[in-house]
Amino acid sequence: MGCSFVLAPPFRARRTGATCCARRDASSPSSEREKRHATFRTLRGLQKQLNDAVKEQQFAQAATLRDRIRDIRLNDDYCRTELALRDAVSEERFAEAARLRDALALMEPPPLLSGMHEEEDAVGVRGAREGVLTPHVSVTDSFGIRVRARSYYVPEQSAPQQNRFLFGYDIRIENRSQHVCQLVSRNWTIRTTSGARDTQVSGAGVVGRQPVLMPGESYDYSSACPISVVPDEDMRRVLGSMKGHFVFCRGDTGDVRFNVDVGAFYFHLPPQI
């Protein structure tokens, strides 16, 4: 669910008699910054407890810690706006997503505390976690496999006057687990803003290969997706989206199969088109 934020009007000094006085907040910027650092140190501790609870399969405790972390984050303007942006993108409310992204750019990000990034990178309660960097980029973690997807417009193979567009996309797959894994197949859902039925694409491997990834290895490939649709200004020049999953296997005989999600990434026209 999206959230709306209203910036407070700038403070104006009020004149009383012959004296001009400006009211000041009781807390200075430095004290607010220290308070925010303390909050995120608390979050770092809670995140470590959450990771430990997941490893020990204490899922009830993990769920409680997850909710507490979320509540604390919702009290921070930046985190609250970032969450609203994720919701807007996932629900394809692109106009609101653009507004929230612009608002986020004006805010001070959370303090970077030692160890915080690594702890937040850990796999969460549900085994898969999706993060939104920008609408045309997605990063998703599933069972120790990270997938980063990025789309881009290919002008030399597009015909805007005929409402035909080609978008390329780069995929990076990283094996962050302790197991040797092999990519078996791919499954994509392609959606356009024209309202047409979703297109399902599936097949063996990717670009004709079924790569085997040792722990710590990564695999990169590129492909393309044609889009035929009339651009809609209300959609902020977003023509469609793509999401899906890869099927992986592991084990001595490859008998353990699991899905690795690919979070939605979006096809944007550049401003000059």
Please check whether residues 82 and 189 belong to one and the same domain.
Answer: no
Shared domain for 132 and 72, answered yes or no, is no
pLDDT at 116 > cutoff 70? no
Q: Identify whether 146 is part of a domain.
A: yes
Q: Spell 76-106 as b/e; 16+ CB within 10 A means b.
A: beebebbbbbbbbbeebbbebbbbbbebeee
- Residue 113 contacts residue 32 (beta carbons within 8 Å): no
Largest Cα span, the chain: 87
Q: Say if residue 112's pLDDT is above 70.
A: no
Task: Provide the pLDDT for residue 232.
Answer: 58
Do 54 and 148 share a structural domain?
Answer: no
Which amino acid does the sequence have at 15? R
Select the more confidently predicted residue: 43 or 104. 43
Examine residue 151 and state whether it is found in any structural domain, yes or no.
yes
Could you tell me the CATH number of the domain that includes residue 156?
2.60.40.1470
Q: Residues 197-205: what's their mean pLDDT? A: 92
In a domain, 221, yes or no: yes
Q: What is the pLDDT of residue 273?
A: 67
Q: What is the pLDDT of residue 165?
A: 93
Q: How many domains does the chain have?
A: 2
Q: How many residues does the chain have?
A: 273
Identify whether residues 80 and 185 lie together within a single domain.
no
Confidence tier at 114 by pLDDT (50, 70, 90): very low
Give the tens place of pLDDT for each residue, 47-91. 888 878 777 767 788 788 888 888 888 888 888 888 787 777 666
Domain-embedded: residue 110: no
Question: Strands (DSSP E) along the chain, which ranges?
Answer: 14-16, 19-21, 128-134, 137-142, 145-153, 164-175, 181-192, 199-204, 212-213, 218-228, 238-250, 256-268
The pair of three-digit structure tokens given for residue 162, joined into one six-digit string:
């005929």
Q: Could you tell me the residue range of the domain that residue 209 belongs to?
A: 127-268
Which of 49, 75, 105 is where one domain is finished? 105
113-117, 237-241, 250-254: least confidently modelled range: 113-117
Residue 38 pLDDT exceeds 60: yes
Judgement on whether residues 162 and 235 belong to the same structural domain of the protein: yes
First to last CA, the chain: 31
Return all residues near 90 (Cβ < 8 A) that are at least 6 apart.
132, 264
Per cent of the chain over pLDDT 90 is 33
- d(CA 162, CA 35) in angstroms, rounded, equals 56
Residue 18 lies in a domain: no
Would residue 62 count as lying in a domain? yes
Instruction: Please check whether residues 64 and 178 belong to one and the same domain.
Output: no
* pLDDT number for residue 197: 82
Same-domain pairing of 75 and 43:
yes
One domain, residues 180 and 93: no
Asked if 131 and 38 sit in the same domain, the reply is no
Q: Is residue 15 part of a domain?
A: no
Give the separation between CA 120 and CA 130, rounded to whole angstroms: 12
- Torsion over CA: 148, 153, 157, 160 (sign): positive
**162 and 252 together in one domain:** yes
Interval 110-130 mean pLDDT: 41
How far does Cα 182 stand from its chain's mean position?
Answer: 25
232 and 137 part of one domain? yes
45 in the same domain as 145: no
Residue 184, in any domain of the structure: yes
Spatial separation of the C-alpha atoms in residues 37 and 72, rounded to whole Å = 13
> Which of 271, 266, 196 lies closest to 229 in space, CA to CA?
196
